Structure 1
């Protein structure tokens, strides 16, 4: 495994992180989830990402239980706050009340005294950003959180948050967690560069476009029985990826990858890690073998010729936007 500093901080994270969105506490049993987490740890992954809203806290519980056997100092555990955790009017968003209360509840579910990275899951237009930044800073001061970050913030929001932190002498944000893959590339426009200028590294999610960039889905065949697409028909984003243009591009990417001795997923992950501003890519796994295969991507250095060929292949979907 290889490691990178997260933003302009001193925290080092593995180039691949293991996430728990749509898997742990839901579609994957606890024993299988633990086997995946163990495999990740054994292969050098030290970065584990979850959120309070993933299956109403179940993902945090499963992750915390599985990690309990390991030395806490060897782990970088990240969770998030924003989405509703109850019916009450204050059980959602980025108010000081919700952030402080949910941090305590996340720590209880994880069975930990602190989290390494606490993230705002989405921007909250209804709460002053200063209120949110002050609440995050207080958690750091209290020792419940070591570093803070955000998710899906645009470059203007990142700049505004860091400006507030600097003006008030608060702890700065060190990360942003956007979606980024060969199909969805909006962060290349300004989020990556502007974030880096603000000392913020990117921790990207859905690097394999929910499995589409593994090459397992075919335009002329039903999804594999054990695939996410076959078992989650209500997944609007995933269904929108099954556009003929996208599947045609993935077919060409698979051919290129195989000609170089890679899997399609390894090519897609190595392509993301070409960016120094990306500290880590969050992979999901429903079985340990997926981690064993995907982790090989960190050792792949894509040549300029391969990168040029990838860009040529991706041209037909350069302006593709999935449904949300």
Structure 2
């Protein structure tokens, strides 16, 4: 199956440092890219256009899943490839993923072997949305070949475009975090396999999409805590209790006394996000997006 049957969707937000390498790797694979930029203040849009990508310039930060939904809606190929801007596909990776899609027609999503800077292969051993018997402590054993897994990383996913649309795409109520776990769960519930393709490799920078700062740590942990509560309620799972918030509050105070702004901001964000969820505030309202899906 030719690479012309797939369009890459890359969501950028202040990603100018890593975006060129991501787009260069896609170009080497012959894959056209749609870059959905979430109102970056850096050169992300200009760099994407210079690399030949089609750029959709959002006037506000729509969040990860919602921006991907916008990108997929603009694609017309049978397959879409969700790609984080800090991920670089290896040689032949797209061809291997497309060949696996033909080999495994029941697969709803396929992902490459994702290698982190340390050389570790990333696999997700646990998830709030996984049955208890599938949750594992520690690292998972890396498959020696293709394998069906309970979850795939949202850093790189090959998906049939029509199936993505039929399932409603990423949950538009989520601004950040758990959107990929939620999509994996809905794929499995609809009877589609999630396939790790060992013959396809990608290198992932893990967290290098945007530069770190105390403000971004606060925001990320706010959304992580909010999304955990939202997902738990969506699937009728045990909801996070106040004890965790008290623990995070204590840690925020402790790190504040140590003048560690990054860790103080992270734990304070967890407290604020959990409190907002318990009070019924939505992630979209928090980001000024309203509550419309």
Q: TM-score, normalised by structure 2?
A: 0.29
Q: TM-score, normalised by structure 1?
A: 0.27
**Which has a greater percent of helix?**
1
